[in-house]
Amino acid sequence: MEIIQVSRELAVRSIQEAIVEKGSVLGGGILKVDSFLNHQIDPRLIKMAGNLICDTFKDAEITKVLTVESSGIAPALATAECMGVPLLFARKKKPITMKRYITETAPSHTKGGTVELNVSLEFLGESDRVLIVDDFLASGQTIAALGRLVQKTGAKLCGFAAVIEKTFEEGRNLLEEFGVPVLGLVRISSLEPLRFVD
């Protein structure tokens, strides 16, 4: 197995280049990157992203990485693997096997309407230190719902991370209310024209 160890600058530049070369703007603030990030996955880019997130939070003593199905699973898994901790994802439809659980809801920009997020209390509790990882930080509504789920369990929320942050949607402001670090690996200030934040 190839170990990917690159500088932060090279990793961020590689993700930016993938956005420019393979991404497209659909209008309405939507950036389509499903050819490498959240439908078809580029393992090398995801590994680099996970390593960067892992490095940023390496001193936080994380015990669980939490995300939401399904778009956040790839970067969250790469992060969890680097940290050597389990990945837990919130289910949008509660399976019959989930007996003790907590639920939060959040509006979904890309799916329209409201999504329900369910996490089993079997896998998240007071002894956990949690890092929330997702593919995008836009309005912050879904990630904030995950933050509320963590708080409901009594676990310690240690931070938020996203591969791509759309700064113009100001989701960071919502997440900063939790009083923990917020990381956007690649930050975009405008889609039309496409502009990255240095």
pLDDT per position as a tens digit, 27-78: 888 999 999 998 999 999 999 999 999 999 999 999 999 999 989 999 999 9
> Assign residue 187 a region: left if phi > 0, alpha if psi is -120 to 50, beta otherwise?
beta
Mean pLDDT score of the chain: 92
Q: Strands, E, within the chain: which ranges?
A: 24-27, 30-32, 64-68, 87-90, 101-107, 114-120, 129-137, 156-166, 182-191, 194-196
Q: What is the pLDDT of residues 1-32, one digit of tens each?
A: 344 556 889 999 999 999 999 999 998 889 99
Q: Hey, which residues does 155 pair with through a beta bridge?
A: none
Split at pLDDT 50, 70, 90, the class of 96 is confident
Compute φ and ψ for 102, nearest 5 degrees.
-125, 155
Which residue, 176, 173, 163, 105, is CA-closest to 137? Answer: 163
Q: Write down the CATH number for the domain with range 1-197.
A: 3.40.50.2020
